[in-house]
A and B are shown apart, each in its own frame.
Chain A
Amino acid sequence: MNIIAVVLISFGLFFFFVGTIGVIRFPDALTRAHGAAKCDTLGAVLSLLGLIVLKGFSPSSIKLLMVIIFLWIANPTATHMIARAILASSGRENKTLGESKDANKTELTIEEAGEVK
């Protein structure tokens, strides 16, 4: 039983570490939100599951199970809300970026069409 708990908590720590690296290294705010979501769901849930396995069947383990269920409901909702906030706060920049990219694409397609002709 101890070995299973150690393996589960180790996987949780691994996902926490990977999510933190993602938050530090990713280039954009929305991609950082992606890394943070992995850190929230997989890391926390695996660590708490390891603690449940360590404690066995008791009232405190049922409370930890309630924490896990609440995390699975609440953390994606919070991440969704944060992503909406990021999108609203950087709306103009994203719009201009998209327009410039589309303009480049149309230019490229026109050039390619000219080469083909």
Chain B
Amino acid sequence: MYNFLVFSIIFLGLTTLLCMFRVIKGPTKGDRIIGINIIGTKTMVIIAIVSSILSEDYFIDVVLVYALISFIGSYVVSRELIQSEKEE
């Protein structure tokens, strides 16, 4: 079980790198917001798996707060993009 959880962490890290490619290259601003949203979700799952490996229960609170902050961050950035486009 331990080996499988470590493998899943490494796999999620590699897919995070692939998403980072889209964040860096992305032609429009929306592509970058999408990539950062996915990276936030993957980071949440990675923290949850780490808490399951180390059997530390308080990491789950970190996951909960990270979900809230990730949602508010993507919401605020996209709202700001809409507002700036309306002004132009």
Within 8 A of B (CB), among A11-38: 12-13, 16-17, 19-20, 23-24, 29, 32-33, 36
Residues from chain B with a CB closer than 8 A to the CB of A84 are 78, 82
Total chain A interface residues with beta-carbon distance under 8 A: 48
- Binary CB contact string for chain A from 58 to 74 against chain B (1 if under 8 A, 0 otherwise): 11100110110011001
* Interface residues of B, dominant DSSP: helix
Total chain B interface residues with beta-carbon distance under 8 A: 46
Given the contacts A9-B4, A24-B18, A67-B63, A29 and B74 also touching, CB distance less than 8 Å:
no
* B residues apposed to A, CB below 8 Å: 1, 4-5, 8, 11-12, 15, 18-19, 21-22, 27-31, 33-35, 37-38, 41-42, 44-45, 48-49, 51-52, 57, 60-61, 63-64, 67-68, 71, 74-75, 77-79, 81-82, 85-86
